[in-house]
Amino acid sequence: MHQLDSAVQLEHNDGRFSGQTSAAYSNMVGPFGGITAAQLLNALLLHPERQGEPLALTVNFVAPVKDGAFEIAPQLIRTNRSNQHWFVTQTQNDVVVTTATAIFATRRETWPTTDFDVPEFPATVETVPYFPMLPKWMQNYTFEMEGGGSGMFDPKSETSYTLKSIQDAPPRPLDFLSLTAMGDTFFPRIMIRKAEFVPSGTVTLSMHFHVDAATLAAHGDAAVIGQARANRFNRSYFDQTSEVWTPAGELLLTSMQSVYYKV
Amino acid sequence: MHQLDSAVQLEHNDGRFSGQTSAAYSNMVGPFGGITAAQLLNALLLHPERQGEPLALTVNFVAPVKDGAFEIAPQLIRTNRSNQHWFVTQTQNDVVVTTATAIFATRRETWPTTDFDVPEFPATVETVPYFPMLPKWMQNYTFEMEGGGSGMFDPKSETSYTLKSIQDAPPRPLDFLSLTAMGDTFFPRIMIRKAEFVPSGTVTLSMHFHVDAATLAAHGDAAVIGQARANRFNRSYFDQTSEVWTPAGELLLTSMQSVYYKV
């Protein structure tokens, strides 16, 4: 079993889901936020009352998730003709550590267009090397970027922008679970901008999905491409927005975070 | 009393808040989403247990809000040292019509920078005229844009981008309530892109606030500037992202919506 599938594995008992944090996806402190988001999403995907596919997910990081057992309790707010609204809590020893709202939708063919200007992915990329000082979750991914990430912590940089390819390592067919986790693999922008380690943590994360499960499955296990940037760092918080698309230019995910920082 | 203050007025009774939809802020069907968001935010601002100022707000439009009375029930999930997490429901006759999660924060001085490229606001702008076929809430705003909005429904347009100034009419000092409503004054992008009326409605809206109440108050009642665009229209939904800033270039708000459309 791929370590991502192990990490999001849940035991279902009468509408509540039990799981365990994954050592493979640990962060500096506690779990990688992207795996927490994928675990919450999986509880909904496994829920017997779930209808449709993920459209939007907002995850609020309420308190530190400790290593060990957790419980996820999805609450179905309403099922409409073409969408469904959920409120979800993740608890540890009855203390809420994460909340989420999610919308699932049954999508139909409509007039389509993409206005997103797909950035040209650098012709020459190198794999970003893993160093033991980096968080453990990074070992589950292959990231490729210009210069192999050597420019990522450029002290002269006046931008918080990153463009990179993202692939599960080992490769795994793309689905909503892996896409959700991949969407959170962009380092806190304050560290890119300041070119140094800065204590920081996401407090809320919103993701909007642009395609259905069949489109993700058709992509297979190839790398996707993503970019992230911040607009403003001010008084303890910054925003972080990102987009993920296929090498063919199909936009899969747009995302926005609010991140606490201390510097 | 300014009509915005009337619209967000709530009666507090033991942690629950009663209000009425506002005829002045009605949309094609039901209320303008921005006023619903402001009403939910106001319940939190008025809550005796609230600490800090708005940092992030996600509003989920669960079911149509009918004209008339509603109740808002904020649930305090957790108070941390420097932030507070809330889950909020808006009900009508005990049916949930809207949910929200919100984070309030006590912000401190940190290293600041703005990486957002402030677009040059057109030197020559005209007021967007109000026509009776437009939704009623638009009468509460003065919008200025190049060509007075004549280019807004340009059938040859290959973009969903809008740049405009926004001001309460009559002018009202800026605060979190008015900023929240202003952040939702961008027409559904599908109508801009297709240059025609298209049935559409926001299903979820996330806003991140970049400044504190004192900064908003210092701005006074002058116009702010904002932009919006969509990245992808696909299978019943599109995303819509926007930013709002002061004429001096101070970024106030970044926002993301997922919008249902039928065309």
In B, minimum Cα distance to A199 occurs at: B110
Least confident of A115-119, A230-234, A250-254: A115-119
pLDDT at B107: 97
Q: Do B258 and A233 touch (CB under 8 A)?
A: no
pLDDT at A149 over 90: no
Chain A residues close to B91, C-beta within 8 Å? none
Q: Is B237 in CB contact (< 8 Å) with chain A?
A: yes
Cis amide linkage into residue A135, ω under 30° from 0: no
pLDDT at A252: 98
Q: Categorize the per-residue pLDDT at A63 as very low, low, confident or very high, splitting at 50, 70 and 90.
A: very high
Phi, psi of B109 (to 5 degrees): -65, 130
Residue A153 confidence (pLDDT) above 80: no
pLDDT at B25: 98
**In one letter, which amino acid is B35?**
I
Minimal-distance CA residue of chain A relative to B251: A232
B78 CB near a chain A CB, below 8 Å? yes
- Please state the separation of Cα A260 from the chain's center in Å: 17
Give the model confidence (pLDDT) of A241-253 as tens digits. Answer: 999 999 999 999 9
Residues of chain A with C-beta less than 8 angstroms from the C-beta of B236: 82, 105, 107-108, 110
The lowest-confidence range among A30-34, A150-154, B116-120 is: A150-154
Could you read off the pLDDT of A157-205 as tens digits, one per residue?
788 999 999 999 999 999 999 999 999 999 999 999 998 889 999 999 9
* Tens of pLDDT, residues B24-55: 999 988 999 999 999 999 999 999 999 999 99
CA–CA gap between residue B108 and residue A261 (Å, rounded): 10
Shortest alpha-carbon distance between residue B206 and chain A (Å): 7
Q: What is residue A148's predicted lDDT score, i.e. its pLDDT?
A: 85
Mean pLDDT, to the nearest integer, of B11-18?
Answer: 97
Q: Which site among B236, B246, B255, B263 would you substitute to test the A interface, given the most A Cβ atoms closer than 10 Å to its Cβ?
A: B236
- Is the Cα torsion angle B114, A225, A254, A204 positive or negative in sign? negative
pLDDT at B163: 95
Is B232's CB within 8 Å of A113's CB?
yes
Which of A208, A211, A227, A253 best tests the B interface by mutation, with the highest count of B CBs <10 A? Answer: A208
What pLDDT was estimated at residue B132? 83
DSSP B9: -
Question: How deeply is B93 buried, as exposed, middle or buried, from its count of CB atoms within 10 A (0-12, 13-18, 19+)?
Answer: exposed
Is there a contact between A116 and B231 if contact means CB atoms under 8 Å apart? Answer: yes
Give the confidence band of B149 by pLDDT, cuts at 50, 70, 90: confident
Number of Cβ atoms within 10 Å of the Cβ of A236? 21
Nearest CB among B58, B261, B263 relative to A58 is that of: B58
Averaged confidence pLDDT in chain B: 95
Gap from B227 CA to chain A (nearest CA, Å): 14
Alpha carbon distance A179, A83 (integer Å): 21
Q: Is B193 on the interface with A (CB under 8 A)?
A: yes
Residue B156 pLDDT exceeds 80: no
